[in-house]
Amino acid sequence: VHQFCSQNLVSIIPLPTTLFLAASLAAIQNMQRQQQDSETNIAIANSSNGSSNSNNNDDGTADVDYSAAMREFIAMTIFVYVGTGSAATNTYKNAVAGGNNPAWVNIVALQFGLAIACLAYATRGGQINCAVTIGLVAGGALEVVQGVVNIVAQLLGSIAGASLLLLTVGSGEAEDEDLVQRDFTGLNLGSNMINARYNIVNALVGEIIMTAVLMYVVYETAVSKHPRAAGVSAPLAIGFAVFLAHVVLINIDGCSINPSRSFGPAVVASINGASGVWDDHWVFWVGPITGSLLVALAYGRCVIVRENKKLYERAAALATIKSRKLARRISTMEQSLSDSFEEP
């Protein structure tokens, strides 16, 4: 603007008028940028209207975010290592009650909860739990193809984490026979197993309920776009939900609520010679997935996803109104400038 005015306008237009024209041109450019932003918001709102088709290509195939899958693999590796590692290296039995020491239960529960919160932030909202992934797919919040890729990455990460834990704690008994074994969970690497004081029904019901609680928190804090939703604080709420589940279920079955977390330690422990890790393993798949689907279908899809769609539609309408107002203002200013140049 300055170059144009200095070369073409200064000789024929007074300085105040030149400054006014320059400011007007700058204002028009600014409003044009705002209009473009509004149009971009409309496009985003229309493409993210709560349906799971927003990641589809023109030919109908879905995009797969392999970087997200890689983050799932890394996060699950770390999660299994630090979570089951806290159980394998710190467990302590209460001889009187026949269960685990309450202080140890809280340590392990807090470890799992903090791990999820930390890694959910690090993965920019990763699931780190195939039951949660399945729940998001069922609720329409995640593409099916992306969900399958994420689950494969989680299972591989779980095996990797358990393998690293085996390398850390070793296998078998301590070298000094007077000492207890190095893996305080036996050779199980923190695998989920039902306590002899409880039965399959107890464990199954507990897994369903606490996974449902976790899935409810995920939908309300991470999936919901309501202004009062947790947003960036969602991983903290989700981490606390994981903590609550572990406090209840550790003494019953070690607490899974996450089939991915249960799978890797069972695979590595069985290869390393542990027995019994597969006896009731199906419970740690059926329970969490059932609880997740109950919430996803009965609440997530029917309430949260529909609410999100309404919010997107409202945002699109507001963006359209704003864009039209800006367009009228730009047209008025351009006409005003044109009239200024046409004046003698």
* C-alpha span between 218 and 237 (Å, rounded): 8
Greater pLDDT, 156 or 222:
156
DSSP annotation of 247: H
Please determine, for residue 40, whether its predicted confidence score (pLDDT) is greater than 80.
no
pTM of the model: 0.73
- Provide the pLDDT confidence category of residue 30 given band limits of 50, 70 and 90: low
Greater pLDDT, 319 or 178:
319
Other CB atoms within a 10 A radius of the CB of residue 250 amount to 22
Most confident among 4-8, 15-19, 237-241 (mean pLDDT): 237-241
Q: What tens digit of pLDDT does each residue of 264-288 get?
A: 999 999 998 888 899 999 999 999 9
- Reading the block at residue 291, the tokens are 């609880």
Concatenated DSSP letters for 160-211? HHHHHHHHHH-SSS-SSTTSPPSSTTTTSTT-----TTS-HHHHHHHHHHHH
What pLDDT sits at residue 241? 96
Looking at the DSSP bridge assignments, the partners of residue 93 are 100
What pLDDT sits at residue 258? 97
> Which stretches does DSSP call E strand in the chain?
93-94, 99-100
Average model confidence (pLDDT) across the chain = 80
Greater pLDDT, 11 or 315:
315
- Provide the pLDDT confidence category of residue 14 given band limits of 50, 70 and 90: low
